[in-house]
């Protein structure tokens, strides 16, 4: 039981730890209690210093975002919050924040979107986009930037709040992803489209807040009807 719990927390066994002696503080340890709590929609769940809340949202019109996009190797990525591996999404965000203000006045700086989509199992990659909400009529795109849409449709949204932005985009994002995909969606017998979005709100200085957006797939009920 100890070996199993240790591997769940650190992704390696105690024997592997004794051989390699890695720094355990580089691992984002899961909040065990969150794996067994199923919250109702609109009811916050407090996990340490993180607050999670689930709700359904209907987006009646697509939202347009301007930013940068690249292919990401699935195998080369480590879980959010860990300190090893090649952080391609992080590099893309740094590029976006460096060039955003100088090159594109058509971008709203208060709302940002990270989008994972278009996975290619043969190549072992997916596309990752990092950008900001486009103002109406953004005009010609700056060199190297692309326009992507958050599609209209029905979403399951996990709201995430943390004590600071650094915690939000590392530990909190990891905990929220684990809870959404590992607990909440399976408990509701839901799967999702091969797409997810991280929506960041930078409109306030004192609140570190974001949302995870996924599109549940319709499932077939016993009587042959479809439901989401």
Last residue of a domain, one of 99, 115, 150: 150
Q: Report yes or no: 125 and 72 within 8 Å, Cβ to Cβ.
A: yes
pLDDT digits (tens, 9 = 90+) for 22-42: 655 445 555 545 555 667 787
Separation CA 40–CA 161 (nearest Å): 17
Claim to verify: residue 43 and residue 89 sit in the same structural domain: no
Separation CA 50–CA 176 (nearest Å): 9
Token pair for 227: 């439901």
Claim to verify: residue 67 and residue 11 sit in the same structural domain: no
Claim to verify: residue 184 and residue 143 sit in the same structural domain: no
Predicted TM-score (pTM) of this structure: 0.75
At 86 the pLDDT is 54
Q: Using the 8-state DSSP alphabet, how is residue 189 labeled?
A: T
158-188 burial, b at 16+ Cβ within 10 Å, e below that, comes to: bbbbbeebebbbbbbbbbbbbbbbebbbeee
Separation CA 187–CA 106 (nearest Å): 41
pLDDT digits (tens, 9 = 90+) for 161-181: 988 888 888 888 888 888 888
Question: What residue numbers bound the domain in which 6 lies?
Answer: 1-30
Give the count of domains, the chain: 3
Q: Report yes or no: 69 and 146 within 8 Å, Cβ to Cβ.
A: yes
Helix-then-strand count for the chain, H and E: 6, 11
Determine what percent of the chain is predicted with pLDDT higher than 70.
Answer: 75
Last residue of a domain, one of 150, 179, 199: 150
Cα 25 off chain centre by: 22
The DSSP string of 13-46 is -HHHHHHH---GGGS----GGGGG--PPTT--EE
Separation CA 22–CA 185 (nearest Å): 33
Claim to verify: residue 104 and residue 208 sit in the same structural domain: no
Q: What is the mean pLDDT of residues 121-127?
A: 86
Separation CA 147–CA 104 (nearest Å): 12
């Amino acid at each position: 039981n100890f070996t199993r719990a240790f591997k769940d927390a650190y992704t390696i066994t105690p024997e592997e730890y004794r051989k390699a002696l890695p720094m355990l503080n580089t691992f984002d340890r899961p909040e065990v209690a969150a794996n067994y709590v199923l919250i109702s929609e609109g009811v916050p769940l407090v996990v340490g210093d993180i607050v999670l809340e689930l709700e359904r949202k209907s987006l009646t019109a697509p939202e347009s975002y301007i930013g940068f996009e690249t292919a990401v190797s699935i195998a080369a990525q480590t879980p959010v919050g860990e300190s090893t591996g090649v952080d391609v999404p992080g590099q893309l965000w740094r590029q976006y924040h460096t060039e955003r203000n100088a090159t594109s006045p058509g971008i709203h700086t208060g709302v940002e979107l990270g989008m994972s989509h278009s996975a290619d199992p043969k190549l072992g990659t997916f596309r990752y986009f990092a950008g900001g909400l486009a103002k109406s009529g953004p005009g010609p795109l700056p060199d190297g930037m692309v326009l992507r849409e958050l599609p209209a449709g029905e979403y399951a949204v996990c709201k995430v709040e943390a004590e600071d932005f650094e915690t939000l985009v590392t530990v909190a994002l990891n905990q929220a992803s684990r809870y959404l995909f590992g607990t909440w969606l399976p408990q509701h017998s839901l799967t999702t489209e091969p797409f997810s979005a991280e929506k960041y709100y930078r409109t306030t200085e004192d609140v570190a807040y974001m949302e995870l957006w996924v599109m549940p797939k319709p499932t077939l009920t016993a009587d042959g009807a479809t439901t989401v």
